[in-house]
Amino acid sequence: MSNFMQVLIDGLLSGLLYALVSAGLSMIWGVMDVINFAHGEFLMVAMYICYWLGFILKIDPLFTWVASGIFLFILGAVTYRWIVKGSLGKAAMAPLLATFGLSMLLKNFCMNRFSPNFRLLSGTLLDGKTFEFCGAIISLPQFVTGIFSLIVVAALYWLVKKTRLGWAIQATAMDKEAAELMGIDTEKIFLLVFGLGGACVGVAGGLMTTYLAVHPEVGGLFSLIAFVVVALGGFGSIPGAFAAAILIGLVESFTGFYVAAVLKYVAVFAIYLVVILVRPKGLFGW
């Protein structure tokens, strides 16, 4: 029974992490119908920022996530302005491939500068701390990341659903021309959405440095999982992506424990295929 609780809680915690990583991607996809292929590399950049801030300036990632969030907001906005905007509307796959080019650029730049070594911050505030809950041992860094995930997803949802800016974002997502006629500067909205998408993944990357090692390939698996989460949740639906992330986390941890550790990602991608074939637009898609 305690095994079951442990596996359940581990699954929930990794699900929350995936939700945090995918939230920005989901928003970008929903508003602009663009897949940011460099999403995983954004995550990697954020992790490197917090790693170096922690390593050189000895500032804990518990605080530097603000810095990586802000930097990734700028990186996202710049990516939109210089790369995505130019390729938008030219051909269906052009933005995807342009951001794929960016991902190669970022990944290999970090490979070139920082070497492919795994780097893990030691001696952070939360390092190695655990607590017990219902017979399961929870690692504090993961728990804090999970809390942040809930806050970020809720804040994003509130922003989109309840604020005037959010209504403008929704209007732009539904009909760009009509939104422009209503006086919405859609250009600014796109810029902001890409920036916010970047900021979400920046926060995620910052917090992940408290318990995960950073290396140039770290983005690969996370971006694939984020794509799957977002598609599983349905076109740009933030609650959908959240539910999908939790589902993926649970599938991963239960297969990892009860079937075989090597099969956990096979199960993750297989469950995606099964669901998407039953509901071609995702769980919450319309």
Instruction: Sketch the per residue contact string, 165 through 204, with other proteins: x for CB under 8 A, - otherwise.
Output: ----------------------------------------
Residue in the block written with tokens 């995936």:
18
User: What tokens appear for 13 in the block?
Assistant: 């915690």
Task: By CB under 8 A, name the one of 25, 31, 35, 46 that touches other proteins.
Answer: 35
Contact between 116 and other proteins per CB under 8 A: yes
C-alpha to C-alpha distance for 65 and 133, rounded to whole angstroms: 27
**In this chain, which of 4, 63, 101, 155 binds other proteins, going by CB under 8 A?**
101
21 contacts other proteins (rule: CB under 8 A): no
DSSP for 210-255 reads TTS-B-TTHHHHHHHHHHHHHHHH-TT-HHHHHHHHHHHHHHHHHH
Please identify, using beta-carbon distances, which residue of 65 and 227 lies nearer to other proteins.
227
DSSP classification of residue 263: G
Would you say 236 and 283 are in contact if contact means Cβ atoms under 8 Å apart? Answer: no
Mask: binding to other proteins, 247-276, rule CB under 8 A, as x and -? ---------------xx-xx--xx-xx--x
For residue 114, with 0-12 CB atoms within 10 Å meaning exposed, 13-18 middle and 19 or more buried, which class applies? Answer: middle
3-state secondary structure of 178: helix
Interface residue with other proteins among 66, 74, 111, 178 (CB under 8 A) is 111
Does 280 interact with other proteins (rule: CB under 8 A)?
Answer: yes
Q: Is the Cβ of residue 100 or residue 167 nearer to other proteins in the bound state?
A: 100
Q: Is 108 in the site for other proteins (CB under 8 A)?
A: yes
Which of 283, 248, 276 lies closest to 264 in space, CA to CA? 248
Per CB under 8 A, contacts with other proteins among 199-238 are: 220, 224, 227-228, 231
Q: Which stretch binds other proteins (CB under 8 A): 42-50, 63-71, 111-119, 246-254?
A: 111-119
On whether the CB atoms of residues 79 and 249 are closer than 8 A, the answer is no
Measured distance CA(96)–CA(88) in Å, rounded: 10
User: Could you tell me the sign of the dihedral formed by the alpha carbons of 105, 107, 110, 113, in that order?
Assistant: negative
Site string for other proteins, 54-93 (x = CB under 8 A): -----------------------------x--xx--xxxx
Contacts with other proteins by CB under 8 A: the residue count is 47
The contact set with other proteins (CB under 8 A) reads 29, 33, 35, 83, 86-87, 90-98, 100-109, 111-112, 115-116, 220, 224, 227-228, 231, 262-263, 265-266, 269-270, 272-273, 276-277, 280-282
